[in-house]
């Protein structure tokens, strides 16, 4: 029996062709055999066993009964430590469960462990985690490629079949880009669709929970379970959640796809241009009309993001001060000294850089020139999308400007890393939903991803388009 | 924007992160490049554009004034690096 | 009224602006559901949000918004239909988030004004710049251990209204009148309990000095004063300190100061290293607050008659003096009591002054002695009114009334019950009194002769004797008149 998809596995569990224990054992064993990938920060078999017992003894009608999932270590989990990939939260044990992960538990899913991620979600290669790099499972023999980031552990775990699905968070591309690098599906929903309560905050106006899975159908199932209003999150949207899975429809005829000219960069690798073309052609064959559109402020998205996100992060990370939880430096003799040493030792380089940038752009004399300016540009970018959606139903772009690259590359210059997010950041700034689906391979046989964007709360459309392309991937 | 060492130290103090002597130079240089890069935004005319602070469609939800009488002190103190009898303990504040 | 200070060489004007932090009276905190009760055991009223645990988010308390709007209406201020919550970023042990959620560029309440009244009948308008909502911080205990500070977050997140005045105050006296007035309005509105000992009302004082007519001087800020007495002392000390420096040729450094009540002096707060750069920016976890007209209208209906209006009414309707009206309206409970007395007894309108006297001397005294608040007074407004009526109608003398009053307090009985059961009704029957007088004059005929011979002071003796025999019930006026007649 194959257990590569949630749909298949659910069917087998519900028809008793396999028990929850047996199903999860398959994945547990795979995890143990693939420790070298370092996809998990926390993995404990006894913990899994407890979870399974609980599900088995329950009479509830679960929608994700026994399905093994990985949870990005940015989600606070009651029964597993939560580190955010940082030293400063090493051994932090939340007494509470994030809203999103609770919803998954409520549907009977099994958490196999906490997936590795860039520290405080800051990174695009899962190379800033205090707990080491994660290795992309598709790395050819003899090489170690990055899985993308910040949700690299989650993407890798799904790609390596260590689980059937995973949660991630996407602030500037942290689900879509690793999905592309690892060859899996990853979706960042509309801002506000999923609750942020219990997710360790990086940049509050950009963070969104999302999921990874092996295919669109599984993605749709998972998305439905994590989406929904939460009155504990004041930015949560109070909307009815469609049954994305049941509504899946790959008939795209009559739809209009926008191809933004500003995403055609001079230095895009040829293989990426090629898959972009192929995707467009494939959609055309499905009856989709292609429209060239313009998103004029695209090139300002990354700079705007790298002002706004660090600014919000510098404030969100102020609470990591060694007073109430987490790591505290033993050496400080005064409160301020303790703060400085704790945070200096507890945070890694990238986090420190971003906190410093964030502090600077908010500081007296610079607020208007940087932060406010960036928020104004953000409005322009958002307006670009609003205008564009008058002319098309969804937008198609590559997900990333390259396939997965070797670990250690691009680490000399922070900006090189930041450029990984060039195609994903604009959608984050506008809050619109985006999905990356694997589409084609690079010259070296590495997975490439295509990104689909739609209007706010039109997740169904990108799932449908994704399904079409999944089935018409030539 | 060129960030000199003093500025780096000043910002570090503001956000309570100790920057060691060995780190200052590289850090200042990296911060300078990043700020140079983001200054690209100056090319954009943003006259009469309102900042976009939040992309949520919600309106501010209001909570009823019902107090939760549960004593969560045990939970709240459970991860404290140092505590004494239900107080958090920290090194003395220098007055 | 000049409040200029005489320095060594010239006269100086003190310029004062106050920032009052008033804790909102509500059941739960501004952004979390924890209780706001004072004095609970440490960290027992702290939620995950209040402790700034990872992933926690704010949800605003609707009632706190209403209280702020109500206060704004009471301050005759502009209610801003659009306001924004900003983060004020700084590090301190009692600030778990590393930022305080406050309001910076767009506060909920705009310009308003409050009138302060002086004893001589004049008054002055003090302008209010704004009122905004913000979180209170926790408490740090520094003196329990030489090398450690202990932190209690119970107070962290309680809703505060920060009320900022223009620098329209020019003396410690004006400042104390202003704070008293604000406190009074807040308590009338029931938006703050005004309990300064418990820290419900704290004040930061911004103070500078200048020669009259000149530019504003450099100001210093004295932080966290929680009693009117200390506020006055701090202002007086600081004004003199600044004047002295300037007159000796120095300049004032802009500083944040703390007032030491034991020494009666101000001194700069810890380090001067870096001025606070709060890096305000709109809180991305909260959307802007938009108020609708009907939301505000409903709150308007809930506003009671405020002190200034009541004073006007007392002066106009009851012809009470400015002073008496002020005393009555210091606290809503006193004014409510007075209104109830007159509400029960419309016919006491003309004797309002007498009612005031009984409340402010007798009632206040007996309540203070027993440490009881007026709204818990065992003497009901109705019964107090009855007592005054008995006096006016001569049923009992003023002196007897005091006795009855004490009895009323002890036993919570009505005055009639007491007068009747103890037979205290005043004797006004002329014949009866004549009989008593005749009796006394007969018994003391030697003193009568002395009186007739010129010792007129003996009248008091006869009155005293008559009172004794009548057990104090003889009507003093009638007694006096008859005595004089009989002695002449």
Q: Rounded to whole angstroms, how far apart are CA atoms A160 and C25?
A: 57
Cα angle A349, A353, A358 (rounded to 5 degrees) comes to 150
**Can you give the pLDDT at residue B95?**
58
Concatenating the DSSP letter of every residue in A248-308 gives -----TT-EEEEEGGG--TT--HHHHHHHHHHHHHHHHTTPEEEEE--TTGGGHHHHHHHH
DSSP structure class, residue A111: E
Give the neighbours of chain C: at least 3 Cβ pairs within 8 Å. A, B
**Span C299-327, average pLDDT:** 93
Residues of A carrying an active site annotation: 72, 150, 174
Q: Rounded to whole angstroms, how far apart are CA atoms C435 and A432?
A: 104
Residues 25-54 on B with a CB inside 8 Å of A are 27, 30-31, 33-35, 37-44, 46, 49-54
**Can you give the pLDDT at residue A65?**
97
Tell whether the model's pLDDT for residue A73 goes beyond 90.
yes
User: Phi-psi region for residue A228, left (φ > 0), alpha (ψ -120 to 50) or beta?
Assistant: left
Q: Tell if the CB–CB gap between C279 and A336 is shorter than 8 Å.
A: no
Interface test with C, best of B68, B75, B85, B95 (most C CBs within 10 A): B68
Tell whether the model's pLDDT for residue C272 goes beyond 70.
no
Q: Tell if the CB–CB gap between C286 and A234 is shorter than 8 Å.
A: yes
Tell whether the model's pLDDT for residue C474 goes beyond 90.
no
Q: Rounded to whole angstroms, how far apart are CA atoms C454 and C442?
A: 19
* Residues in chain C within 8 Å Cβ distance of A335: 93, 149
A203 within 8 A of A74, measured Cβ to Cβ: no
A111 touches chain B (CB under 8 A): no
For all residues of chain A together, what is the average pLDDT? 96
Q: What is the pLDDT of residues C278-292, one digit of tens each?
A: 999 999 999 999 999
**Can you give the pLDDT at residue C271?**
58
User: Is the pTM of the predicted complex or chain greater than 0.80?
Assistant: yes
**Can you give the pLDDT at residue A473?**
86
Tell whether the model's pLDDT for residue A474 goes beyond 80.
no
For residue C220, give how far its alpha carbon lies from the nearest alpha carbon of chain A (Å). Answer: 20
**Span C30-56, average pLDDT:** 97
Tell whether the model's pLDDT for residue C1 goes beyond 60.
no
**Can you give the pLDDT at residue A472?**
94
The gap from C-alpha C421 to its chain's centroid, in whole angstroms, comes to: 40
For residue C263, give how far its alpha carbon lies from the nearest alpha carbon of chain A (Å). Answer: 27
- C129-138, C211-220, C463-472: lowest mean pLDDT where? C463-472
- A25-39, C53-67, C312-326: lowest mean pLDDT where? C312-326
Tell whether the model's pLDDT for residue C323 goes beyond 90.
no
* Residues in chain B within 8 Å Cβ distance of A192: 55-58
Q: Rounded to whole angstroms, how far apart are CA atoms A169 and A149?
A: 10
Closest CA to C126 of C169, C85, C157, C70: C169
Tell whether the model's pLDDT for residue C274 goes beyond 60.
no
Q: Tell if the CB–CB gap between B90 and C149 is shorter than 8 Å.
A: yes
Architecture of domain C430-487: Orthogonal Bundle (1.10)
For residue A301, give how far its alpha carbon lies from the nearest alpha carbon of chain B (Å). Answer: 9
Q: Tell if the CB–CB gap between B11 and A356 is shorter than 8 Å.
A: yes
**Can you give the pLDDT at residue C119?**
82
Confidence of residue A412 (pLDDT cuts 50, 70, 90): confident
CB within 8 Å of C449: residues ≥ 6 apart: none
* Residues in chain A within 8 Å Cβ distance of C57: 196-197, 232-234
Interface test with C, best of A86, A205, A322, A324 (most C CBs within 10 A): A324
The gap from C-alpha A404 to its chain's centroid, in whole angstroms, comes to: 16
For residue A116, give how far its alpha carbon lies from the nearest alpha carbon of chain C (Å). Answer: 17
The gap from C-alpha A49 to its chain's centroid, in whole angstroms, comes to: 27
Q: What is the pLDDT of residues C433-445, one digit of tens each?
A: 888 888 888 888 8
**Can you give the pLDDT at residue A179?**
98
A137 within 8 A of A159, measured Cβ to Cβ: yes
**Can you give the pLDDT at residue C475?**
83
Tell whether the model's pLDDT for residue A20 goes beyond 80.
yes
For residue C193, give how far its alpha carbon lies from the nearest alpha carbon of chain A (Å). Answer: 29
Choose among C44, C53, C284: nearest Cβ to B54.
Answer: C284
Mean pLDDT for each consecutive 10-residue tract of chain B (95 residues)? 91 95 94 93 95 89 95 94 95 78
Confidence of residue C2 (pLDDT cuts 50, 70, 90): low
For all residues of chain C together, what is the average pLDDT? 92
Q: Tell if the CB–CB gap between B93 and C274 is shorter than 8 Å.
A: no
**Can you give the pLDDT at residue A268?**
92
Helix %, strand %, coil % of chain C (to 5): 40, 20, 40
Percent of chain B surpassing pLDDT 70: 97
Confidence of residue C468 (pLDDT cuts 50, 70, 90): confident
Closest CA to B78 of A343, A91, C154, C39: A91
**Span A289-313, average pLDDT:** 97
* Residues in chain A within 8 Å Cβ distance of C97: 318-319
Confidence of residue A17 (pLDDT cuts 50, 70, 90): very high
**Can you give the pLDDT at residue A1?**
64
* Residues in chain C within 8 Å Cβ distance of A82: 54
Q: Tell if the CB–CB gap between A379 and B50 is shorter than 8 Å.
A: yes
- CA C66 vs CA A180, A247, C78, C296, C303: distances in Å: 50, 44, 14, 8, 11
**Span A65-88, average pLDDT:** 98
The domains of chain C are located at 4-299, 307-422, 430-487
Beta bridge partners of B61: none
Q: Domains of chain A by range and CATH? A: 1-474 (3.90.1300.10)
**Can you give the pLDDT at residue C117?**
87
* Residues in chain C within 8 Å Cβ distance of A324: 51-53, 96
Q: Tell if the CB–CB gap between A191 and B55 is shorter than 8 Å.
A: yes
C154 touches chain B (CB under 8 A): no
- A32-41, C182-191, C323-332: lowest mean pLDDT where? C323-332
**Can you give the pLDDT at residue C458?**
85
Beta bridge partners of C29: none
For residue C176, give how far its alpha carbon lies from the nearest alpha carbon of chain B (Å). Answer: 29
C149 touches chain B (CB under 8 A): yes
Interface test with A, best of B7, B27, B56, B77 (most A CBs within 10 A): B56
């Amino acid at each position: 029996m194959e257990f590569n998809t949630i749909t298949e596995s659910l069917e087998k569990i519900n028809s008793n062709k396999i028990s929850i224990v047996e199903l999860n054992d398959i994945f547990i064993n795979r995890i143990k055999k693939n420790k070298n990938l370092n996809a998990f920060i926390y993995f404990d078999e006894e913990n899994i066993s407890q979870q399974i017992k609980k599900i088995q003894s329950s009479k509830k009608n679960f929608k994700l009964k026994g399905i093994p999932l990985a949870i990005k270590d940015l989600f606070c989990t009651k029964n597993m430590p939560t580190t955010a990939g940082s030293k400063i939260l090493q051994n932090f044990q939340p007494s509470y469960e994030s809203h999103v992960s609770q919803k998954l538990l409520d549907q009977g899913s099994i958490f196999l462990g906490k997936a590795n991620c860039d520290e405080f979600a800051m990174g695009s290669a899962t190379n800033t985690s205090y707990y080491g790099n994660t290795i992309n499972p598709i790395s050819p023999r003899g090489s170690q490629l990055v899985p993308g980031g910040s949700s690299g552990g989650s993407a890798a775990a799904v790609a390596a079949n260590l689980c059937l699905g995973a949660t991630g968070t996407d602030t500037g591309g942290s689900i879509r880009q690793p999905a592309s690098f690892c060859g899996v599906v990853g979706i960042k929903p509309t801002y506000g669709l999923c609750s942020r309560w219990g997710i360790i905050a990086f940049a509050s106006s950009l963070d969104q929970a999302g999921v990874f899975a092996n295919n669109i159908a599984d993605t749709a199932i998972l998305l439905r379970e994590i989406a929904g209003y939460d009155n504990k999150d004041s930015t949560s949207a109070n909307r009815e959640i469609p049954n994305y899975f049941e509504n899946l429809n790959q008939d795209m005829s009559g739809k209009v796809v926008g191809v933004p000219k500003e995403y055609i960069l001079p230095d895009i690798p040829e293989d990426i241009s090629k898959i972009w073309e192929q995707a467009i052609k494939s959609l055309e064959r499905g009856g989709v009309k292609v429209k060239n559109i313009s998103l004029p402020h695209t090139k300002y998205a990354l700079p705007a993001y790298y002002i706004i996100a660090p600014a919000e992060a510098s404030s969100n990370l102020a609470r990591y001060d060694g007073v109430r939880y987490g790591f505290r430096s033993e050496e400080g003799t005064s409160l301020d000294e303790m703060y400085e040493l704790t945070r200096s030792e507890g945070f890694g380089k990238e986090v420190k850089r971003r906190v410093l940038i964030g502090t600077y752009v908010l500081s007296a004399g610079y607020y208007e020139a940087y932060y406010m300016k960036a928020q104004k540009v953000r409005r322009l970018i958002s307006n670009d999308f609003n205008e564009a959606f008058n002319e098309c139903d969804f937008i198609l772009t590559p997900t990333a400007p390259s396939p997965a690259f070797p670990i250690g590359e691009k680490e000399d210059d922070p900006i090189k890393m930041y450029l990984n997010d060039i195609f994903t950041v604009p959608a984050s700034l506008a809050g619109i939903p985006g999905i990356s689906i694997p589409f084609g391979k690079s010259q070296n046989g590495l997975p490439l991803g295509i990104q689909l964007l739609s209007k706010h709360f039109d997740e169904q459309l990108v799932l449908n388009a994704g399904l079409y392309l999944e089935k018409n991937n030539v | 924007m060129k960030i000199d060492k003093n500025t780096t130290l000043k910002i570090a103090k503001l956000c309570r992160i100790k920057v060691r002597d060995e780190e200052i130079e590289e850090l200042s240089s990296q911060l300078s490049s990043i700020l140079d890069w983001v200054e690209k935004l100056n090319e954009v005319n943003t006259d009469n554009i309102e900042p976009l602070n939040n992309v949520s469609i919600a309106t501010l939800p209001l909570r009823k004034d019902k107090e939760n009488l549960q004593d969560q002190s045990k939970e709240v103190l459970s991860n404290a690096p140092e505590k004494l009898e239900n107080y958090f303990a920290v090194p003395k504040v220098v007055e | 009224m000049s409040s200029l200070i005489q320095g060594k060489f010239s006269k100086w004007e003190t310029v004062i602006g106050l920032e009052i932090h008033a804790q909102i009276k509500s059941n739960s905190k501004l952004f979390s559901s924890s209780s706001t009760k004072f004095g609970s055991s440490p960290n027992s009223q702290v939620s995950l949000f209040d402790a700034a645990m990872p992933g926690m988010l704010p949800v605003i308390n609707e009632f706190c918004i209403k209280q702020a709007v109500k206060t704004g209406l009471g301050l005759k201020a502009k209610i801003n239909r659009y306001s924004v919550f900003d983060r004020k970023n700084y590090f301190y042990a009692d600030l778990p988030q590393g930022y305080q959620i406050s309001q910076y560029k767009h506060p909920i309440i705009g310009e308003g004004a409050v009138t302060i009244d002086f004893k001589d009948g004049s008054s002055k308008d003090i302008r209010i710049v704004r009122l905004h909502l913000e979180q209170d911080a926790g408490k740090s205990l520094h003196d329990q251990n030489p090398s450690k500070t202990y932190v209690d977050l119970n107070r962290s997140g309680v809703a505060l209204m920060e009320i900022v005045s223009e620098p329209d105050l020019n003396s410690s006296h004006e400042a104390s009148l202003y704070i008293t007035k604000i406190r009074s309005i807040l308590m009338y509105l029931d938006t703050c309990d005004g309990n300064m000992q418990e820290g419900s009302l704290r004040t930061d004082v911004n103070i500078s000095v200048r020669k009259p007519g000149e530019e504003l001087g450099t100001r210093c800020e004295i932080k966290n004063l929680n009693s009117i007495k200390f506020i006055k002392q701090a202002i007086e000390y600081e004004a003199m300190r600044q004047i002295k420096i300037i007159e000796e040729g120095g300049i004032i450094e802009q500083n944040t100061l703390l007032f030491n009540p034991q020494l009666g002096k101000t001194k700069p707060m810890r380090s001067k290293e870096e001025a606070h750069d709060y890096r305000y920016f709109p809180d991305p976890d909260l959307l802007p607050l938009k108020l609708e007209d009907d939301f505000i209208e409903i709150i308007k209906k809930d506003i009671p008659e405020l002190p200034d209006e009541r004073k006007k009414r007392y002066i106009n309707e009851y012809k009470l003096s400015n002073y008496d009206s002020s005393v009555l309206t210091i606290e809503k409970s006193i004014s409510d009591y007075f209104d109830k007395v007159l509400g029960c007894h419309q016919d006491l309108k003309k004797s309002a002054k007498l009612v005031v006297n009984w409340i402010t001397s007798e009632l206040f005294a007996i309540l203070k002695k027993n440490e009881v608040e007026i709204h818990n007074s065992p003497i009901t407004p109705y019964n107090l009114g009855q007592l005054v009526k008995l006096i006016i109608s001569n049923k009992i003398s003023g002196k007897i009334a005091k006795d009855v009053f004490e009895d009323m307090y002890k036993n919570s009985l009505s005055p009639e019950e007491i007068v009747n059961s103890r037979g205290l009704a005043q004797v006004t029957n002329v014949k009866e009194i004549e009989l008593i007088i005749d009796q006394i004059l007969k018994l003391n005929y030697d003193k009568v002769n002395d009186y007739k011979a010129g010792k007129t002071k003996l009248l008091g003796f006869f009155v005293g004797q008559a009172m004794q025999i009548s057990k104090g019930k003889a009507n003093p006026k009638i007694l006096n008149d008859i005595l004089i007649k009989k002695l002449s």
